[in-house]
Structure 1
Amino acid sequence: MTAIDVDTSLAPKAGTADAGLLPTIRLAWRFALREMRGGLNGFIIFLLCITLGVGAIAAVNSVASMMSDGIAREGRAILGGDLRFQLVQRERTPEEASYINSLGEVSETAGLRSMVRLEDGSDQSLAEVKAVDSAYPLYGSVETTPPIALETLFEQRDGRYGAIAAQELYDRLDVEPGAIVRLGDAEIELTGVINREPDILSDGFAFAPRLMMSRAGLDASGLIQPGSLVEYDWRVRLPAGSDAEVMADEARDQFPTAGFRVRTAEDAAPSLQRNIERFSQFLTLVGLTALIVGGVGVANAVRAYLDGKRPVIAAFKSLGAAGRLVVLVYLFQIMALAAVGVAMGLVLGAIAPFLTANFLESVIPVAADASFYPGALLIAAVFGFLTALTFALLPLGQTRDVAATALFRDAGATATGRLRWTYAIGTGVLALCIAGLALFMARDKQIALVFLGGTAAAFIILRGVAVGVMALARRAPKVHSTPLRLALGNIHRPGALTPSVVLSLGLGLTLLVTLAIIDYDLRQEVGTGLASRAPNFFFVDIQNNEIDQFRQAVEEAAPGSDLEAVPMLRGRITHLGDQDVATMEIPEEGGWVLRGDRGITYSAEAPENASLSAGEWWAEDYDGPPLVSFADEEARELGLEVGETITVNVLGRSITAELANFRVIEWENLSINFVMVFSPNTFEGAPHAWLSTLTLDDGGADRSNAVVAAREKEIVNTITNAFPAVTSVRVKDALDAVNSLIAQLALAIRVAAGVALIASVLVLAGALAAGNRARVHDAVVLKTLGATRVTLIKAFATEYALLGLATGIFAIGAGAIASWFVVDQIMTLPYVFDWTVALTTLVVSLVLTVGFGLAGTWRILGQKAAPVLRNL
């Protein structure tokens, strides 16, 4: 092909549409395909970065979609019906019963927490007791061992009612089916094991294993007393063709002040669904972090690839190719490679539900029907292409206006030209698109905004750190050590690896330090700090007429102990001022107060473990309209002000009270605290029970100590045997359960953080590989001037060690600040910095930088000098 022929084919023809845009695009695509035939060396890191990020996002959203679909598909079985009515502390009135029964087939259950004791009173365990009728369950089935009808398992034999229990209860009491235990005042026989309970998810978080029996058996136990914390549920199977949502609205209109919580199958497991959405949002953001970190690898790979293509670009420019043609040729190649990386990531995301379905079914009792989720895959693909294009645009733009004479020279560093504003603006627009998509997908916009702002700040700060390290190296005093002098020069010279290394490792290591310290502080606080400050026991459902005898029994069983007791009722907030809670959009922060029933109390005096932040406490003999004291933080989050009113439904009665004051509550000490404390005259004559805490005088001994545990067991056995209707909760057991949840959450977070760290390592490897071209020239020139291989190895190792040290120190500092903010400011827990995490981070940083650096450099040191010197 002659120069004229090539020039004619490369130059756009006059008079064509858009100055030859379409012919230019066709020509660029043709050249891109031709050049790709020769292979695309150096793009492995590019592919892995895109694959990892896209795969993480696709997998998380696919698994979340699978779980959400499972909940929606089995909504009626999870709810137990098409409609579900719930009341706390009271049963329905005849009028309410007549209305509910008219809707369709009804199943009634009653649930409470109580102690299950051995016959001889030597041991006991907390249980979630659920009494069901003959119609239960309306949907789904209860799977038991032995597999026989519930009526048979629950029937009365030899004066004892039967009951079935989860295997965990058998394990706690060390008994087998057929054992006789006591529940309240009655003896019951454990007749079987519950393998599957269809509606367990809709009953909320379980603090103890399930015990299921008939309503007659529960009545015989004597546990249901006036004021007892009993939850009554009526599940309704509607006739075919009925609209559950319409029926629910009609029920709320029919009984606006009854205090019913009415749910449909669309709202079968709201807490679980919220947790799935929150966790998937978090993991999606972590996956996006991995993708953005990988974007740095994309930029490095593109820059290194274009640097290697300078002779080809020079040929294009010399033969008359416009800068637009050059950009399009390599843009097509890069996006084609991005498509391959996205496709591999989508494969990982598509198979994730099939790999995790069995595991999820063992954790969450919802049938996980694995499938392909196009929406989740599409979102991941869009993120992948946007990220690839965002980080490739600047290197491409710098190539457009590089002069051909500069491109023909081989100086060992990437040639760059001036950057046009159009490319910078395009990069900014694409970055905003990524941020907008992440914000659009987020359930909690505030968390997404914090993440996006933190990511942007991290990029800016890490860039500043890199500039600072280079400035320090440039201003370092002269040293006699040749390897150290060469290392300092390599850190600050043009085209140095410093920005890429600091950025690639900085994000991943900072995330690891932050999460590790948060995990450490949570475990320390829950396992040690909180356990030492919290009471030993909580006692619930102490009857009003038994509180004095209960105090006396505790004093005799545990002399010198501290017993705190307060009256407790349950109520649900129905109105904030004139606004109906059922029709308002519940805020994410503080919204938990408006969901379901809350414990409430009354008191003439202000609680000792709280301080007033606004308003004044009422007089001890106050006898005016109802007043209420509200938790300060939750009040602020809900936008409440002193002087406004709230309406609470208690025992079917709506009570409107004025907000008299706000209290700052120390929730973290696990003493008795309530969001709402009312003036005493509000509930005068209302039936209620008491809640108490017991703190033993154990001299600060470790509560895991065998002696302390034995004393606690003896005390609780004495009290619960004397008061069988009272429920006791050992705080250490509750904290152990919390620690177990923290461990599971920490494992998931570590896996997610590991994905980001892997992306950082990939980018580090790519950055070092991209610098190999310049390293070849350095090594050849230095060896020509007399440097030995040992000297060069020492120089490179010193350079990598200094970069790793600087990055590790930054990660420790940034991680410490971030973890302090989360632990101290958000969780309001004591902050402790773990130096083990700091030292581990430094070691990891040094190993990665020095290890990867020397692994790539070793091959460079063997390059022959002649071929390189010929091109200088």
Structure 2
Amino acid sequence: MRHIPMILRQVRRSHLQAGLFVLCVALSLATLTAFSGFARSVSRALLEDARTLHAADIIIRSHDPISAPLVQAVDRLADQGRIVKANVHEFYSVVRAPDEKASVLSRLKVVEAGYPFYGQVTLKSGRPFKQVLSPGACIVEQTLLDRIGLKVGDRLKIGYTTLTVDDVVTAEPDRPLDLFAFGPRVFIHSSDLDALGLMTTGSRIHRLVLLKVMDPLQVDAIAAGLKQASPFDGESVDTYLTSGSVVKRFLDNFLFFLKLVGLFILIVSGLGIQSTLTALFNEKQRTIAVMKTVGASGRFINTHFMLMVLLLGTAGTGVGILAGAAVQGGLAWMLGPLLPEGLGLTIAWTGVVEAVMLGFTVVALFSFLPLYRLKEMRPVVIFNRLPSVGIARWPYFLSALLVLLFFLALVLWHMRDILFGFYFVGAVVALILAAALLAQLALWTMKRLPVRHLALRQAIRGLFRRGNATRAIMITLTVSLAVIFGNHLIEKNLNATFVQSFPADAPNAFFLDIQPDQTEAFSAAIGHPVQFYPIVRARITGVNDQAIDRRREGQKRRDNLSRVFNLTYRQGLLDDETLIDGDTLFRSDWTEPQVSVMDSIVEMREMKIGDRISFKIQGVPLTARISSIRTRDSRSLSPFFYFVFPEEIMKQAPHTLFAALTVSPGQMGPLQTSIVSRFPNISVIDMSQTIGILARLMARLSRIVRVFSLFSIAAGLLILVSAVFATRAERVVESVYYKILGAGRRFVFTVFALENILIGLLSSGLALALAQAGAYWVCTLRFDIGYRPFFPISLTMVGLTVLLTVTVGMAASRSIMAKKPVAYLREQQNE
């Protein structure tokens, strides 16, 4: 306890450095605490509201008609009174105004009585959903009425029938993410399903059977029995706890990425903790010298300053947790449009406990080296202003190793993926090492430049001032800015490739679910010959007689073999396709079924020519031998398929056709209305709208990432301010000497401004070089798109960084420049 009063006095005297240390600790925890707490809160909320989010206890899903054995098992349970069921059919279709002058692609949801079993479908009128939805009527979203020019009570053409709009829906419990959904919602009574005429062979229909279990304790047992009754892989039987919603899948993936950002900010802020603490101890050199001179032992000094670090670290952890809670609220606000309405998010106390433990670990790790260096502060060296004796190298290596192991453990804890954890840590370490090497090279070069301009020469000398943290500042800012610049450059290239540079002759209208007997009439309606692409939906059951483990495949974060694939048949390559293995698409010397695969499939699982792939097509098994491997120009917007069969193998399988056409923007609406009025079963996808939706999604997510990446820049700026304060004595001496020798305040300002300009210019320039290299690699090798460096935008980012650095640095140096020589000399005389 005897240390506490002395610590408090020292903190008050060095309140600026102490405050910077607290801010660095808080910064290191705020984002990761927010991301981790938000993820836990979302998971808990989704778990608590799982029944509502799925509207049932058990959910059966299939893109094909539910198998007879499973239907019989469900009917038996219903006859026994153990469950209540409701069939739901979801699909896209174009709906039209009665006069056929306007149409819009919509999401149809055909439901039976009983839906939803949990939660409420909220209507604008406030009436009960189950009473409003009746045969011959429909309930729609307001956007549909606005776009098509109708109102409640008007008639609406859907498929081959006409229904009356009875109300407007404002919320539904199992609503998908609007950001990924094309078209407004339309609810239809199940008795009108046949009248729609849209349940044709091969149509893209999502079938659900929702079950309410009368005895909640039997949910798992009934679900297990239904799984055994299902003979097909294409059917899934899940409970409300095991079924992953679209919302949860999106949030899991996005929060996974945000956690990466949080971990990166944590390591960068840790460098700030180490730098500010070193600066704080440098400021306390005279205090330490006096304490040692009057007999204080090394143990006493270490204990004293460890308690100081613990006190400041505790304050920083508390501030970080509070800031993390605020950031968590901001994150919930920014992601508001993507969250289910009414989802209750509360503070996850397990996340708070984890944050407290994390805070003390971070402080301990990054305080190790500055605390160790305390014993090297010898009174004779300090009082006589002699050069400091360098400490042994092993503490540096030990500190770096501990930080690396801690960072790796943290990545594995949050990511639960060992291989990815090593990749990510390796990438961050490589980025930091590259920044450190480039910063060292830049400073080495700068120190040896023959500069004649006096102010610039003094500014360069200031970069190497005793106690200055120029290298740490540059490394931190370079790493942080490289991530932000790289993210922005990648976003601009994606936007330029897929949004702004949409080729004029590229297909922008896709017509889906065309039946084989409609091809001639469809071509006649278009007015010219049309190329049709057959679609056969199937699942892969095995490769080379090895069954596909769907659970393991589904856990992969990239595309995998567990999903439903679209197969096709034709005899030749498309214009944008080339063979990378094999002489021809199909071999004439093989008599067994053959299939050509896209190179993307080989990336999902290693395959080669001659391997056998087993498919199940609507319950019918088919095994084919790989005859060739294709690739395509990913910049092309033409249709493509992963699997291509010979026509004689697949033509008899149940299938639909689709066509891709280039339509001028002014003709898109009239053409859509004309086609759907003649062929109500055909859906039209306007790719220009799809591109717009993806562009808005990319912009929203990029803004969120940029906001949180700014935290890492804040860490670099805190180090900059800390360095100014830590070298305050040397800067004051320089300023006084300049003035004594006849320099005016303008010269002093110019020297300090040039010093900050050099730091900002070097850091942002190195960051831009790393960002350009990284963005080029991602765009050309990972996304396979052309790369543009965007030099005007890049120079703007560098300019803004320099301006920010100069502003912060000069603000921190204001009191130093204001010091008058006479006042300083009087202070020295008094000492």
The TM-score normalised by the length of structure 1 is: 0.88
The one-character-per-residue Cα deviations of 1:251-271 (angstroms, maximum 9, x if unpaired) are 343333363122222233344
Find the residue that maps to 2:530 and give its secondary structure.
Answer: strand
Find the residue that maps to 1:724 and give its secondary structure.
Answer: coil
Q: 1:456 aligns with which of 423, 429, 432?
A: 429
Whole-angstrom CA distance in 2 between matches of 1:313 and 1:150: 76
The residue aligned with 2:805 is: 849
Q: How does 1:548-697 map to 2 (within 5 A)?
A: 548-554=520-526, 556=527, 559=528, 563-582=530-549, 584-586=551-553, 591-615=558-582, 617=584, 619=586, 624-696=591-663
Q: 1:224 to 1:212 in 2, by over 3 A?
A: same
Q: How does 1:369-518 map to 2 (within 5 A)?
A: 369-410=344-385, 415=388, 417-419=390-392, 421-422=394-395, 424-443=397-416, 448-479=421-452, 481-518=453-490
1:101 aligns with 2:75: yes
1:725 aligns with 2:681: yes
Q: 2:127 aligns with which of 139, 145, 148?
A: 148
The residue aligned with 1:11 is: none
- Structure 1 contact 573–581 (Cα < 8 Å) conserved: yes
Q: 1:714 aligns with which of 670, 684, 688?
A: 670
The residue aligned with 2:318 is: 343
1:133 aligns with 2:112: yes
The residue aligned with 2:46 is: 71
The residue aligned with 1:704 is: none
The residue aligned with 1:168 is: 143
The one-character-per-residue Cα deviations of 1:290-309 (angstroms, maximum 9, x if unpaired) are 33322233223212221222
1:217 aligns with 2:184: no
Find the residue that maps to 2:168 and give its secondary structure.
Answer: strand
Unaligned runs of 5+ in 1: 1-25, 697-707
The residue aligned with 2:98 is: 119
Q: 1:776 aligns with which of 722, 726, 732?
A: 732
The one-character-per-residue Cα deviations of 1:561-610 (angstroms, maximum 9, x if unpaired) are x7331111222333344444455412665753434423222223334332
Report the AA paired with residue 428 of structure 2.
T
The residue aligned with 2:226 is: 251
Report the AA paired with residue 187 of structure 2.
M
Shift of 1:841: 1.9
The one-character-per-residue Cα deviations of 1:436-466 (angstroms, maximum 9, x if unpaired) are 2123211555554444223322322232233
Unaligned runs of 5+ in 2: 78-82
Q: 1:188 aligns with which of 143, 155, 163?
A: 163
The one-character-per-residue Cα deviations of 1:27-76 (angstroms, maximum 9, x if unpaired) are 87896577557664411111112212312111122222222222212222
Q: 1:625 to 1:112 in 2, by over 3 A?
A: farther
Find the residue that maps to 2:573 and give its secondary structure.
Answer: coil
- Structure 2 contact 613–626 (Cα < 8 Å) conserved: yes
Aligned residue pairs total: 823
The one-character-per-residue Cα deviations of 1:676-705 (angstroms, maximum 9, x if unpaired) are 223334434222210110124xxxxxxxxx
The one-character-per-residue Cα deviations of 1:605-645 (angstroms, maximum 9, x if unpaired) are 33433222234655488994433322212322333444333
Find the residue that maps to 1:42 and give its secondary structure.
Answer: helix
Report the AA paired with residue 483 of structure 2.
L
Whole-angstrom CA distance in 2 between matches of 1:359 and 1:849: 28
Q: 1:250 to 1:628 in 2, by over 3 A?
A: farther
Q: 1:812 to 1:357 in 2, by over 3 A?
A: closer
Whole-angstrom CA distance in 1 between matches of 2:326 and 2:443: 45
Shift of 1:341: 0.7
Shift of 1:118: 1.1
- Structure 1 contact 76–268 (Cα < 8 Å) conserved: no
- Structure 1 contact 589–637 (Cα < 8 Å) conserved: no
Q: 1:739 aligns with which of 695, 717, 734?
A: 695
- Structure 2 contact 282–467 (Cα < 8 Å) conserved: no
1:201 aligns with 2:176: yes
- Structure 1 contact 513–812 (Cα < 8 Å) conserved: yes
Report the AA paired with residue 784 of structure 2.
T
Whole-angstrom CA distance in 2 between matches of 1:668 and 1:260: 35
The one-character-per-residue Cα deviations of 1:173-209 (angstroms, maximum 9, x if unpaired) are 1221112121122111111111221122399952222
Find the residue that maps to 1:686 and give its secondary structure.
Answer: coil
Q: Which moved more, 1:58-67 or 1:256-265?
A: 256-265
Shift of 1:435: 2.5
Whole-angstrom CA distance in 1 between matches of 2:646 and 2:225: 34
Report the AA paired with residue 429 of structure 1.
L
The one-character-per-residue Cα deviations of 1:438-496 (angstroms, maximum 9, x if unpaired) are 232115555544442233223222322332232223221251x3212212322345544
The residue aligned with 1:840 is: 796
Whole-angstrom CA distance in 2 between matches of 1:798 and 1:205: 49
The residue aligned with 1:323 is: 298
Whole-angstrom CA distance in 2 between matches of 1:239 and 1:574: 35
Report the AA paired with residue 91 of structure 2.
L
Q: 1:654 to 1:244 in 2, by over 3 A?
A: farther
- Structure 2 contact 283–726 (Cα < 8 Å) conserved: no
1:817 aligns with 2:796: no
Find the residue that maps to 2:241 and give its secondary structure.
Answer: helix
- Structure 1 contact 277–443 (Cα < 8 Å) conserved: no
The residue aligned with 1:20 is: none
Whole-angstrom CA distance in 1 between matches of 2:649 and 2:355: 55
- Structure 1 contact 131–215 (Cα < 8 Å) conserved: yes
Q: 1:30 to 1:389 in 2, by over 3 A?
A: same
The residue aligned with 2:754 is: 798
1:523 aligns with 2:495: yes
The one-character-per-residue Cα deviations of 1:627-679 (angstroms, maximum 9, x if unpaired) are 33222123223334443333333223233333333222344433211222233
Q: 1:537 aligns with which of 509, 518, 540?
A: 509
Report the AA paired with residue 479 of structure 2.
L
Find the residue that maps to 2:143 and give its secondary structure.
Answer: helix
Report the AA paired with residue 475 of structure 2.
L
Whole-angstrom CA distance in 2 between matches of 1:171 and 1:128: 16
- Structure 1 contact 483–794 (Cα < 8 Å) conserved: yes
Report the AA paired with residue 101 of structure 1.
D
Q: 1:642 to 1:43 in 2, by over 3 A?
A: farther
The one-character-per-residue Cα deviations of 1:201-249 (angstroms, maximum 9, x if unpaired) are 3999522221110122221121112222222211222342555455444
- Structure 1 contact 310–408 (Cα < 8 Å) conserved: no
Find the residue that maps to 1:853 and give its secondary structure.
Answer: helix
Q: State the identity %.
A: 24
Shift of 1:542: 0.5
Q: Which moved more, 1:591-600 or 1:95-104?
A: 591-600
